[in-house]
Structure 1
Amino acid sequence: MINNTPLSHIKELAEFIALQYDEKLTPVDKIAQDEGLELFYDGYETGTFDGMTVYQNRKFYVHLNIDSGNRKDSTRGRFTLAHELGHYFIDAHRVGLQKGILVPHSSNTNKKQFDTIEREADYFASCLLMPESRFKDEIFRKKFNYELIQNLATRYNVSITACALRFAQIGNHPIMIVYVENGVVKWKLESDDFPYKWLLNEKKIPKNTVVGEYFSKSNLRDVYKTEKVWAMDWFNNVRDYDTNRSFYEHCIPHRNKALSIIWED
């Protein structure tokens, strides 16, 4: 049994490690090297795994799957390595690997706990790659728009999704992020102070939205755009006096998937 680690502890740990290095772009490979971890960037076929931390012969080995896009210094590779560093640095994870309690792959019997552990490692990676103090310096007195997320993602060499999630956690403007596959909402996350918490149709995306148009009109398959949308078209429990309340939505589509970032002026 692996005990859960408070997110506040994970944040403090990850950011302490990141700020030990002068580089504004957290040097994840250097951190691994300084800890004596053996890194292997190799092909392990697509659809298998992104990264894997193994404890063997009293040593930790980290495998990064380049067949899934986890090349050294790529956005995906950096996040995957940072995630695996989470398994190494978070005490409960490291001890679990050493004792054989935490295995590299999940199983049906421990899926709930495994998901929690993976979320902890994801959070560690986010805090390691985008430490709060540095991140907030970058956004100080800057008006929110999609270009700000783009610039931050480039600045920290992370994906748009990772950057948007971090902004929702610690940014200076409330946003909501909605991820959709085949017209079905798979997950959403919003800033604590975002004015709405529930989507209009829960899992089915509303038609009168940018992402709704993407999935309903084939000629929009390759369009990336920011458009004005209405609260009553996106959210549940919109009061009568807010029927004309407007937001902005930027949709990032890719084949049968799309990510929408929603915010208000």
Structure 2
Amino acid sequence: MSKGKLAAQRLMNDCGIDDPTEIPLDLIVFGRGATLVEKSLKNSEGRIVFGKNSAIITINSDIPYEGKKRFVTAHELGHFEMHRNVITVHNDTDATLEFFKNGHQETEANEFASELLMPEHLFKKECAGKKFSPDLLRQLSDRFKTSITSVAYKYFELGSHPICLFYSHNNKVLYWKRPDNYPHFINDRTKLTPPDDSVATEFFEKRKIYSKEQSKQPIWKSTWFELKNWENDNNYKFFEYCIITPIYNTVLSIVWEEL
């Protein structure tokens, strides 16, 4: 088990928390000995400043989504729980909050926030018997009061249907993930533009954002994956759902196959 997940579970055990959505997050922060402040920040989504015996956590009041504010708060709490003897002042941007982020402290803080907001046993229970879809991710986001992006990564880890993730910024694919033993080979487009026929490219080139009802878009297997010379695109049913954040010019493409 990862250090971040273990720290979150230890906190919930210490505080007697079974479902974190039933307790205001600011009370959890206060109960652990930190002060939570919300105000406008420039070039930062969250900040933690350590004192001798406590810390001040500041969340950017300009974040437009409450679910993301909760995730940033939980991320900073993760730094408080795990890194108080390592850092004195730390600022988090949209880049450091990204789940693909390398670097053990940011990874640990993201894993902590994910487990605190979406405990594994509850997340699996909410997913049980439900077909994967963009609507399911939105339902999980509402259920756990966190960002749909964090839900997508949690589903990648724990969900029953395999999904692939492609993170693009400024029309460049920065990172991608596929499940272990996934049967389809991904064409590596790291540092390249997304595929011409992808939903991601529709946003970057045309600023196209689909409505909730149309957010599940059919694509070819060959859009993101290698098509063998004996394979036929018509024999596969692939879809792409994009979580788009225009203010950061980022797209998280969620791609999956329906059999």
Q: Aligned with 1:191: secondary structure?
A: coil
Distance 1:18 1:264, change over 3 A: farther
CA deviation profile, 1:219-256 (whole Å, cap 9, x unmatched) = x62324212222222113x3334433331111234444
Contact 2:149 2:243 in 1 (8 A): no
- Give the corresponding residue for 1:86: 78
Distance 1:196 1:17, change over 3 A: farther
Contact 1:179 1:187 in 2 (8 A): yes
Mapped partners of 1:105, 1:80: distance in 2: 11
Q: Please provide the CA RMSD for this pair.
A: 2.6
Instruction: Looking at secondary structure, tell me which structure has more helix per residue.
Output: 1
Mapped partners of 1:9, 1:54: distance in 2: 22
Residue 200 of structure 1 and its aligned partner are, at CA, apart by: 5.3
Residue 193 of structure 1 and its aligned partner are, at CA, apart by: 4.5
- Give the corresponding residue for 2:38: 41
1:21 is the counterpart of 2:14: no
* Percent identity of paired positions between Structure 1 and Structure 2: 31
1:204 is the counterpart of 2:199: no
Count residues with an aligned counterpart. 239
Q: Aligned with 2:216: secondary structure?
A: strand
- Give the corresponding residue for 1:183: 171
**Aligned residue among 178, 193, 218 for 1:228:** 218
Structure 1: gaps spanning 5 or more residues: 1-6, 107-112
Residue 163 of structure 1 and its aligned partner are, at CA, apart by: 0.6
1:51 is the counterpart of 2:37: no
- Output aligned runs, 1:1-265, within 5 Å: 8-18=2-12, 20-25=16-21, 27=23, 28-44=25-41, 46-47=42-43, 49-69=44-64, 74-90=66-82, 93-97=83-87, 100=88, 103-105=89-91, 115-196=103-184, 198-199=186-187, 201-202=189-190, 203-216=192-205, 218=206, 221-224=208-211, 225-236=215-226, 238-244=227-233, 245-255=236-246, 256-265=249-258
Residue 41 of structure 1 and its aligned partner are, at CA, apart by: 1.6
- Give the corresponding residue for 1:3: none
TM-score normalized by the length of structure 1: 0.79
Structure 2: gaps spanning 5 or more residues: 93-100
Q: Aligned with 1:150: secondary structure?
A: helix
Q: Aligned with 1:64: secondary structure?
A: strand
